[in-house]
Structure 1
């Protein structure tokens, strides 16, 4: 990859041509301009540029709508915008996008014409304009001018991460630039490629290994780097190095390795906890006493730390009932935030010891002293369920109703509020029932129970017996969302669909951060989604809510009020394939999308432990049976179109088996038609909500609620009628 030494000096730099001279070239080529006229023209042009630079980067953009359109299909429209004589941000974006399309087609000359003078009009992307211009010169075999352009980028913007790319390209001609890149930009993925190549040539370079452990903690290949540091260079590592290595192991779920590494890092409550927890989660053998000793070391070393409350909880789980109660009592006395859950656990242990009176007293303390806790909501709900099982709707309503007001943020709250409405109906309290259902759609609009409440309120959202036939209107965004984190340069590249550059730049901007903020994590998830890493992206958005830091909790609450949060959590990959096959099968496209999200998180090649494959998790035997039915000769379960073809046929078949009842059809898709038929005969209930509660397979019950919860979310997010209706309720 190396060239033949230093660059040769160039006689003259290529002059930059300003827009005014381009406009003048044809119209007044024979006119002799006085210095004063030239100055006036340049001032006028500069005024136009300054006006353009004041344009809002975030206003609606036609060019942004073309970000995901194939290059050949958008070429004509981009050319029309780029050739406009009116200076504008849209024109600049079109020129940049055209230039990149041309570079990918190895058309260096035409790309250079689009980039000419663009840095004067498009300041947000100036470093990348220079970077791409260098590539254009390289494609025209003017390598000297390419190198000069990249040198200009490094000299003019030494701190820009685009300079790391320039150093990488220059290193192909002179390896000393790679040395500069490693020293200046070790966080940049392109420079990390150089580091990995050098390690292949000479593995015994611990300083380079440490750079990767520090700056590429999430790269799948970095785990072997950490292993080499631990196995070969342990005596050279500092406590700070051990911390980096341990944190990296922890983030990729290598918990036992993390626990061992944390023992060499500085002592802190979190490190002590992870030493114990890591050995508990991934034990090398029978190490119960070792784990208990590690948790107790945390207790005595940091008695007031929040991690100590977790340690006491783990110790209670590892101990016999009487000893466990002692640990729970310590939580109750010293950690009031964790006390409610400890009280609930203590009551359960007292029941096991047949100390019923003491257990009742503990639960009364929970109700009276911690009425607003999640643990209290959990206890109330259990009592309400038990009462409902015996047919005592009044007791069930009485116990569940306070959850809706005292514990509105509890995970149980949507379900409790819905059943408060159902039990009120049984008691003939129609107004109370109406209020309960309205409460669910207003306060918990994202929940499965909001859909069930909307059905009770008479909304046109489909019910179990007719949802398959509904063809709801779907309004998808036509541009990518504005990411909440990253530089303006990154955001512009992302919205233009320049994914390779955007991903590389964002990774470099995050540098050596072991943990990302909510907004950074969400932005990273957006990048995973555009790469087709849908399972990772969706799950990453979901887990953003699990933040202990109050500021991060606030950031998440703000983010989830935005449309982009819900679009990322419920994306629409393979939309065209879904529409094609649902139209053929006369199935609700949102129902199929919802099942697909639950089955595979839109991963075409995913395979379950039992062999279910692809987007709709079709079993090979089922796929073969369906393929014979529809005379499909050559197919692949990992091909999205084939998988959706086979999966929708089978879903249509399960509907036909149950008179188009989608509850039974979806349950059958998961548990098989034989099991569902047994349940229908066994329970003989007319209320579908009661039937769902009685499904004996926990997996299938959760599956049904998840699929229809997905359906409701796709409906409320993408259907304008339901979205507007929910907004009105939310304001009441």
Structure 2
């Protein structure tokens, strides 16, 4: 596999010259690109002709038109040698679709003979293996990670479930399969004593990825003895509420790996599971040996001391956090907590001062965007409009992707819609961005991705992605792009977003390089189902970016998803709500899992919630999550004089987070897909310091 240097990996330039039409056509629906692809396919002078022929042939096959596809594929491998094996694959598919089994078999055999070392031959082995099982055995032996091989393994296990090698193959490579949990259970129940440590590691990783943490913890106990495995064993047991086993596992971990990068966090977790006298000892070890976690340990120690009624020592521990570890995330949490308490007691000047300290001492904290925004809000209340504007500009400059950047843009007078006007905004939506070049992968993988052969690209990536347990930054981002291509949006967004958790300085630097590029943000805020969203948003007179923001939060764009209470589809509509909506819009037949129907009904309901609250999108969105009864009670109790304060006081943590997430999503879609807002944001100077933004410590009550 091609593995360039980290710096090369992270330059996500467009993959083709600007004159090429292919990247733009790949983003369109098949029916919308057919005419232009046909024109390019007939242009003998165009360098894009081979790509256009293969892409158009693939579209025709998806439309059940094998004869037209075969005409385009005829002799194409001579002009498109890079994807010659995939051209044969498409040709075999076309013959299968026609029912010409003789030609299909001949083409499968040609694919196998000419390209025996390419993973795509598994498709030939699978087809030929329907008559001769030896072909299936060859696929299992030579290409175990290829998705079709996993299908073969599952089919063979149905015939004979007692095949340990096949069970292990699925355990390692079948995480995406619905049968996966059953396979892991069968391995443990039937073959516990025959499993090697590496087998247990694969099982543990699978459980961890499936968020079955107790099972993962128990499996990691038997995995190879590494710091990461030992830590995950203890953490998994703790997350699975097996506290006694977790405590013992943490003790073994810190004893065996006293200096590992995971050790300080393990000691802190162990302290939370231990009696006070032991907890203090564990925390003191962290404070002494691991300065990067000392502040967190001091805070936990303060809590333990308070439980022992040793309030003076607890106070000293908290004071030490601010004096010795002023730049820590823990210090930021403490400062922000004090700021909010000062604001609640109407000490606005004091709240401003403590929030200002977060922006100056902890600018990289997760709390810094919120604190900086409230520095502006509280400066306004203190009559310092210039300082307020400087604070809002700082938020837009330093934290442009946050919910608080949107709130800051509102207060600076940008035309981005406020809570009570956002539904009326009609953004100038630019169409979908071009695909970037993949950071890593073979030339074949990159070409498949470029021309939108996403299922085939994803299948090849399963073979090339050799280190899924501990991927590099570039590999993890590539995996996210691959998952987006095949519609696995939940895992795709997780893979991209979780890059921010990297702790290694070199990896953090690579993530920062990625975050400076539009391709990263377009991957994190994709726009599937663009046409039905635009169509039904227009029909309901809703801002389409508010709709896509809500869909991203509700379902991560997974049309078949169901919640534990039965909410279904893209906009997570409850069946009884669907029936109620269908009656009102005279919809006789519908399927909540069907994107078109779900968006049609969900936008009607979102319009309804807006009408219930005089087009106030804050209340409409909150009602979509918590129900109209709760929202009405909150308004009656708290009022809406300050919507920002209302959001912070929403008593349901889920709904409070939901509101911020939806409007944060909205802002990101606005800045990414509305060129005017994107350009305006780009004009704000990047990375302004808190001092330059009027947060240099001059107390507002004294100036």
| TM-score bracket relative to the smaller structure | 0.7 to 0.9
Cα separation, 2, equivalents of 1:126 and 1:112:
14
Larger radius of gyration: 1
1:456: how far off?
Answer: 1.4
Q: Which of 513, 524, 536 is residue 558 of structure 1 equivalent to?
A: 513
TM-score with structure 1 length normalisation? 0.84
Q: 2:15·2:437 contact (CA, 8 Å) conserved in 1?
A: no
> Given the superposition, is the C-alpha separation of residues 552 and 60 from structure 1 closer, same or farther in structure 2, using an over 3 Å criterion?
farther
Cα separation, 1, equivalents of 2:98 and 2:538:
49
> Given the superposition, is the C-alpha separation of residues 632 and 151 from structure 1 closer, same or farther in structure 2, using an over 3 Å criterion?
closer
1:564-604 deviation digits (Å, cap 9, x = unpaired): 22222222233322223322322222122222222232333
Q: Which of 273, 276, 281 is residue 231 of structure 2 equivalent to?
A: 273
Cα separation, 2, equivalents of 1:239 and 1:571:
39
Q: What is the SS of the residue equivalent to 1:181?
A: helix
2:413 paired with 1:458:
yes
User: 1:84 — aligned with what?
Assistant: 43
User: 1:671 — aligned with what?
Assistant: 626
2:458 paired with 1:499:
no
Aligned residues: 674
2:161 paired with 1:206:
no
Q: 1:248·1:514 contact (CA, 8 Å) conserved in 2?
A: no
User: 2:11 — aligned with what?
Assistant: none
> Given the superposition, is the C-alpha separation of residues 637 and 107 from structure 1 closer, same or farther in structure 2, using an over 3 Å criterion?
closer
Cα separation, 2, equivalents of 1:327 and 1:175:
58
2:445 paired with 1:490:
yes
> Given the superposition, is the C-alpha separation of residues 152 and 256 from structure 1 closer, same or farther in structure 2, using an over 3 Å criterion?
same
2:651 paired with 1:696:
yes
2:686 paired with 1:727:
no
2:141 paired with 1:183:
yes
Q: Which of 92, 98, 117 is residue 56 of structure 2 equivalent to?
A: 98
Q: Which of 7, 26, 33 is residue 67 of structure 1 equivalent to?
A: 26
Map 1:171-320; keep pairs closer than 5 Å.
Answer: 171-172=129-130, 174-283=132-241, 288-320=243-275
Q: Which runs of 5+ in 2 are unaligned?
A: 1-13, 689-703
User: 2:289 — aligned with what?
Assistant: 334
- Greater CA deviation, 139-148 or 427-436? 139-148
> Given the superposition, is the C-alpha separation of residues 417 and 113 from structure 1 closer, same or farther in structure 2, using an over 3 Å criterion?
same
1:468-496 deviation digits (Å, cap 9, x = unpaired): 21111101226444333332222222332
Cα separation, 2, equivalents of 1:548 and 1:89:
44
Cα separation, 2, equivalents of 1:139 and 1:573:
29
1:185: how far off?
Answer: 1.6
1:293-344 deviation digits (Å, cap 9, x = unpaired): 2221222222222333222112211124443222211211121111111112
Q: What is the SS of the residue equivalent to 1:89?
A: coil
Map 1:579-594; keep pairs closer than 5 Å.
Answer: 579-594=534-549
1:613-654 deviation digits (Å, cap 9, x = unpaired): 333333444444444444444444444344333333333333
Cα separation, 2, equivalents of 1:611 and 1:212:
30
User: 1:125 — aligned with what?
Assistant: 83
Cα separation, 2, equivalents of 1:642 and 1:143:
39
Cα separation, 1, equivalents of 2:98 and 2:480:
37
> Given the superposition, is the C-alpha separation of residues 172 and 726 from structure 1 closer, same or farther in structure 2, using an over 3 Å criterion?
same
Cα separation, 2, equivalents of 1:644 and 1:132:
34
User: 2:522 — aligned with what?
Assistant: 567
User: 1:707 — aligned with what?
Assistant: 662
1:657-705 deviation digits (Å, cap 9, x = unpaired): 3332222232233333333333333334522222222222222222221
1:128: how far off?
Answer: 1.7
- Greater CA deviation, 200-209 or 66-75? 66-75
The higher relative CO (CA closer than 8 Å, separation ≥ 6) is in 2
Q: What is the SS of the residue equivalent to 1:167?
A: helix
Q: 1:383·1:399 contact (CA, 8 Å) conserved in 2?
A: yes
Q: What is the SS of the residue equivalent to 2:499?
A: helix
Q: What is the SS of the residue equivalent to 1:253?
A: coil
1:177-204 deviation digits (Å, cap 9, x = unpaired): 3333332222222233333333333333
Cα separation, 2, equivalents of 1:669 and 1:141:
50
Q: What is the SS of the residue equivalent to 1:376?
A: helix
Cα separation, 2, equivalents of 1:555 and 1:332:
29
Cα separation, 2, equivalents of 1:643 and 1:672:
19
2:396 paired with 1:438:
no
User: 1:343 — aligned with what?
Assistant: 298
Q: What is the SS of the residue equivalent to 1:306?
A: coil
Q: Which runs of 5+ in 1 are unaligned?
A: 1-54
Cα separation, 2, equivalents of 1:132 and 1:625:
46
1:453: how far off?
Answer: 0.7
> Given the superposition, is the C-alpha separation of residues 110 and 579 from structure 1 closer, same or farther in structure 2, using an over 3 Å criterion?
closer
Q: What is the SS of the residue equivalent to 2:278?
A: helix
Cα separation, 1, equivalents of 2:310 and 2:600:
59
User: 1:12 — aligned with what?
Assistant: none
1:393: how far off?
Answer: 1.5
User: 1:448 — aligned with what?
Assistant: 403
Cα separation, 1, equivalents of 2:341 and 2:446:
53
Q: 1:218·1:252 contact (CA, 8 Å) conserved in 2?
A: no
Q: What is the SS of the residue equivalent to 2:641?
A: coil
1:110: how far off?
Answer: 5.1
Map 1:613-632; keep pairs closer than 5 Å.
Answer: 613-632=568-587
User: 1:410 — aligned with what?
Assistant: 365
2:118 paired with 1:160:
yes
1:138: how far off?
Answer: 6.6
User: 2:603 — aligned with what?
Assistant: 648
Cα separation, 1, equivalents of 2:639 and 2:597:
37
Q: 1:111·1:136 contact (CA, 8 Å) conserved in 2?
A: yes
Q: 1:328·1:342 contact (CA, 8 Å) conserved in 2?
A: yes
Q: What is the SS of the residue equivalent to 1:486?
A: coil
1:82: how far off?
Answer: 1.4
1:146-199 deviation digits (Å, cap 9, x = unpaired): 666555555554432233333334444544333333322222222333333333
User: 1:367 — aligned with what?
Assistant: 322
User: 2:696 — aligned with what?
Assistant: none
> Given the superposition, is the C-alpha separation of residues 213 and 360 from structure 1 closer, same or farther in structure 2, using an over 3 Å criterion?
same
1:108-139 deviation digits (Å, cap 9, x = unpaired): 66545433443333233122224334556677
User: 1:33 — aligned with what?
Assistant: none
Q: 2:15·2:436 contact (CA, 8 Å) conserved in 1?
A: no
User: 1:14 — aligned with what?
Assistant: none
Cα separation, 2, equivalents of 1:203 and 1:157:
32
Q: What is the SS of the residue equivalent to 1:66?
A: helix
Cα separation, 2, equivalents of 1:139 and 1:704:
48
2:485 paired with 1:526:
no
User: 1:391 — aligned with what?
Assistant: 346
> Given the superposition, is the C-alpha separation of residues 163 and 371 from structure 1 closer, same or farther in structure 2, using an over 3 Å criterion?
same
TM-score with structure 2 length normalisation? 0.88
Cα separation, 1, equivalents of 2:637 and 2:59:
62
Cα separation, 1, equivalents of 2:599 and 2:71:
44
User: 1:470 — aligned with what?
Assistant: 425
